[in-house]
Amino acid sequence: MRIEFLRRCLRRLSAAACLLLAMVTATPALAALSLTTLYDGGSAAKLQYQVDTGGGLVFKVMAYDNGVSTQSKGDLSSLLYNGVQYADASRGSQLNSGFDFLYSNVSAVDVQAQMISSSGAATSASTANGGVVSGGAYVKITVTVLSANGGVLKHYYMARSGEPRIYMGTYFTEEPDTLNLVRFILRVPIAALSRGGPAGLPGGLASNGSWPQDLRGTDTTVEASDVFGFSSGTASAGQTRSKHYSNMRLKDWQYFGGLNSTSSVGLWFYRDNNEGNSGGPFYRSLLNQITATNNELTYIVNYGEGQTEAFRMGVLNSYTLMFTAGGAPSAPDTSWFSVMALDGYVAPSGRGTVAGVGLSGTDPNYSYTVGFSSSTAQYWASANLANNGFFKSTGMRPGAYTLTVYKNELAVYTGSVTVTAGGTTTLNTLAINADPSAKAALWRIGNWDGTPAEFLNGGRLTTMHPTDVRMSNWVPATFVVGTSSAASGFPAYQWKDVNNARVIQFTLTSAQVQNLTLRIGTTADFNGARPQITVNNNSWTSAIPTAPPKGSRNLTVGTYRGVNRLYSFDIPSTALVAGTNTVTVNVVSGTSGTAYLSPALSYDAVDLIVTP
């Protein structure tokens, strides 16, 4: 029709008039979703699958081994959005350090691509018709790796017609053992994505106008090979930066990402309910890193640092890579996953709900979270104190769960609950019964809330290294009860080799000289650290508590979140006097270490009570 129109036009009008008329009457057609089989350099051994989403995004997945350590079969090798390349093809965007390096002694990777109809009918990629398959509603590319032990890992790249998004899903029955973690790293050329996210997001802009994970300009190594700083003579002299400092409590974010230089394009990872991760609602982990060459967005499925529980298997962990016009992304609709034949997927109809009437015994000064945990999945819900502490958790996999109520981040109630598919389990009011604050204290330093936020340097712990010049001196003077404040006089962290032997001075009346108990709460420990106390210049010394299990680095990489522990030391009345007394708290450990990598602990609260 259009060709015949132009022929008639040419017979009757001038060329210029026809061209103008053609431009006015043209109706540009949106590209349809397509899956194309390509061969790099024309070689059949160099297969790639290209997906045009029809929404301005065209991406490629490598389906051959390029023989380069920084590239892998299964990599996201190209990410073209409105003509701009957002993938560093020289390094690859991939799971862990490449799909061929997930499991020991295994390098075989299988990549399959399909066009999927709205009803779930699959058409495999083909070399017919110029290698183009179209006409479907979705595309699915499946990357499969088998371990030597029979475990399987499947990673899905999916597209939905008309959307500038890549929906990803990762499922595994055995933890990859070369790195002992699961994460997807998207490496974006810095020219295309030169900025981090806005304030309030993980790795968002800080009050000093920088991003805590932005390594550009750093010229010194502070710790290991992942914490860096600025030397003297620079504008940021003495400050530290690291990918670890892009963290945020899991329950506080849904997406993270970055912006281009004009903030006209935003690139984001939007997470699912995180049921397949481990660590609970307050878990923190790295998410971004900005270098001179790349803006790296790292989606963590599970991660070893600061981990508090075993990794979960057999769950589809889904996350969506989304382009926007610079604004915040909206929650993606994943209901169509039900027709995609994804391992580990459980449809909404196969899930259940837990609803709690409320909580009693709460403190209105704190928020409360109700967590659910099993070997298979984790969930959480905020309690509405304005409505008697009502809580509701939806979309849960069926099974038995441990239920934990948290006062801020401190567990103050533990119970159990069972979830059934398609059903709602209703719980009567839960009475808080394990809050240390319920016990009256002669004095208390800090708050029993599961965090060190109220202590010296407590507000800076997650976004900078302890040596950062913005930190206050870690060695304050003797803490005098009734005079000193936790915020300026008691350190959030205590290291064996930095600020050991913290002295607390307090006064007792003659009536108060009786058997007393000093309680020390910690939120994390490093290298077997635990407290030991001495009273009144060694008139009495406590026993050394049993060593906690050793874990990874934690306090120097932006997290105080570990296992909350409560240590109780029963002080005999004979060790105390009417008048001035002192307690000295020492970090003890049989493990060596120096400076800020010496054994250490993070404080929750310290108080003195009458021995029960």
Task: Assign 425 to helix, strand or coil.
Answer: strand
Percent of the chain scored above 70 by pLDDT?
Answer: 95
**Residues 597 and 538 occupy one common structural domain:** yes
Read off the pTM. 0.93
Q: How many Cα neighbours within 13 Å face the side chain of 200?
A: 3
**Mean pLDDT in the chain?**
94
CATH number for position 415: 2.60.40.1120
pLDDT at 18 (0 to 100): 35
Q: Is residue 515 part of a domain?
A: yes
Residue 350 has pLDDT above 60, yes or no: yes
pLDDT per residue over 121-161, tens digit each?
999 999 999 999 999 999 999 999 999 999 999 999 999 99
**Residues 399 and 460 occupy one common structural domain:** no
**Residues 121 and 170 occupy one common structural domain:** yes
Strand partners, 481: none
Give all strands (DSSP E) within 86-181, no chain letters.
Answer: 94-95, 110-116, 122-124, 132-134, 138-146, 152-160, 165-172
Q: In sequence order, what DSSP letters do the residues of 285-339 get, joined into one string?
A: ---EEE-SSEEEEEEEEE-STT--SPPP-S--EEEEEEEESSSPPPPPP-GGGGG
Rounded mean pLDDT, 274-301: 97
Question: How many domains are contained in the chain?
Answer: 4
The separation between CA 106 and the C-alpha centre of its own chain, rounded to angstroms, equals 28
pLDDT per residue over 204-243, tens digit each?
999 999 999 999 999 999 999 999 999 999 999 999 999 9
Q: If you ran DSSP here, which 8-state letter would residue 436 be given?
A: G
pLDDT at 469 (0 to 100): 98
Rounded (5°) CA angle 53-154-120 = 50
Q: Is residue 162 part of a domain?
A: yes
Q: Is residue 248 part of a domain?
A: no
Q: Is residue 52 part of a domain?
A: yes
**Residues 24 and 75 occupy one common structural domain:** no
Q: Is residue 130 part of a domain?
A: yes
**Residues 480 and 541 occupy one common structural domain:** yes
Q: Which of 411, 431, 451 is the last residue of a domain?
A: 431
pLDDT at 336 (0 to 100): 98
CATH number for position 267: 2.70.98.10
CATH number for position 470: 2.60.120.260
**Residues 497 and 602 occupy one common structural domain:** yes
**Residues 360 and 310 occupy one common structural domain:** no
Contact between residue 138 and residue 158 where contact means Cβ atoms under 8 Å apart: yes
Q: Which of 388, 410, 431 is the last residue of a domain?
A: 431
**Domain span including residue 383:** 348-431
Residue 8 backbone phi and psi in degrees, to 5: -65, -35
What confidence category does residue 25 fall into, taking pLDDT thresholds of 50, 70 and 90? Answer: very low
* Residue-level length of the chain: 612
Q: Fill in the amino acid letter for 436.
A: P
Q: Is residue 219 part of a domain?
A: no
Q: Which of 431, 450, 466 is the last residue of a domain?
A: 431
Residue 11 has pLDDT above 60, yes or no: no
**Residues 479 and 492 occupy one common structural domain:** yes
Task: Assign 77 to helix, strand or coil.
Answer: strand
Rounded mean pLDDT, 357-369: 98
Contact between residue 531 and residue 502 where contact means Cβ atoms under 8 Å apart: no
Strand partners, 123: 115
**Residues 14 and 38 occupy one common structural domain:** no
Q: Fill in the amino acid letter for 298.
A: T
**Residues 424 and 560 occupy one common structural domain:** no
The Cα-based distances of 420 to 353, 397, 399 in angstroms read 8, 8, 7
Q: Is residue 226 part of a domain?
A: no
**Residues 371 and 318 occupy one common structural domain:** no
**Residues 356 and 442 occupy one common structural domain:** no
Residue 546 has pLDDT above 60, yes or no: yes
pLDDT at 554 (0 to 100): 95
pLDDT at 85 (0 to 100): 98
Q: Fill in the amino acid letter for 490.
A: F
Contact between residue 214 and residue 293 where contact means Cβ atoms under 8 Å apart: no
What confidence category does residue 89 fall into, taking pLDDT thresholds of 50, 70 and 90? Answer: confident
Residue 411 has pLDDT above 80, yes or no: yes
Q: Is residue 464 part of a domain?
A: yes
